[in-house]
Structure 1
Amino acid sequence: MPHLIVEYSRNLAGFPEAQVLAELNAAVCASPEVADEADLKSRIAPVQQFEVGTAPAHRAFVHAQLRLLSGRTPEAKKDLSGRVAEVLRRLTPRPAGVQVQLSVEIVDMDRPSYVKERL
């Protein structure tokens, strides 16, 4: 815990994956909600096949999902989603004539059933 998954539409050419991951990890790990930076697992993936609405021409998206063990306050979740959104807002390419949608989702993982081990 936590897990950070970023997906973006393939029409965002030049998406700086390595920089985005590095800055997202720094932003999330700076939160008091993350006790050990080694607990954060992040990944990023371009989505090859996608649709945005019913008229997808000239549309793109970036979506981040931050999965946390349950029990965080609404304020803590809002802070974390804001940290993620700030990085993505700053680093996401904005091709001319393309509407880019940005979204961040915080998901509670069921604490009693979650298994994590360091091998």
Structure 2
Amino acid sequence: MPHTTVEYSGTLAEALDRPAFGKALHEALVTVAGGRAGGCKTRFVRHDDLWIADGSPHHAMVHVEISLLSGRTPEVKRALTEAVLAALREHTAPTPQYAVQFSVDLRDLDREAYVGHQEPESAS
């Protein structure tokens, strides 16, 4: 925990520095929201078939959806989404040929209902 999904236009595959953004994202989840570093999980999902705005090919997007256990204040949530948006912009190279839409959404997971388990590492 936390779980993050980063969906992005395939046209931004070279512009989005996924490893650097992932590192900055996990750091923000730990320092701003009090997440556990070992529990951070991020999935990057490339989309090559998108319809954005009027459908013209010069549109692109990156959307980050974060799921955290409930209990954070609105101020912490806002600080986290702002930090993630700043990191996203920092780790996406300029693409003047595209009108890029960046967005971040944070969702609470019900603490009473969420179940997660990590298997211990095996000694090899």
The TM-score, its normalising length taken from structure 1, stands at: 0.89
2:43 equivalent in structure 1? 43
Q: Which has the larger radius of gyration?
A: 2
Task: State yes or no: 1:80 paired with 2:80.
Answer: yes
User: What's the secondary structure of 2:111's corresponding residue?
Assistant: coil
CA distance in 2, matches of 1:73, 1:112: 18
CA-atom RMSD, angstroms? Answer: 1.5
Structure 1 contact 13–93 (Cα < 8 Å) conserved: no
- 1:50-83: CA deviation from partner (whole Å, max 9, x where unpaired): 1102333210000001101112111110011111
Deviation at 1:33, TM superposition (A): 2.3
2:18 equivalent in structure 1? 17
Q: Which runs of 5+ in 1 are unaligned?
A: none
Deviation at 1:32, TM superposition (A): 4.8
User: How many equivalent residue pairs?
Assistant: 118
2:34 equivalent in structure 1? 33
- 1:28-63: CA deviation from partner (whole Å, max 9, x where unpaired): 2222522x2112111212112111023332100000
Counting aligned pairs with the same residue, the percent is: 34
Q: Which runs of 5+ in 2 are unaligned?
A: 120-124
Structure 1 contact 94–100 (Cα < 8 Å) conserved: no
User: What's the secondary structure of 2:12's corresponding residue?
Assistant: coil
Following TM superposition, the consecutive aligned residue runs of length 4 or more in structure 1 with deviations greater than 6 angstroms are none
1:55 equivalent in structure 2? 55
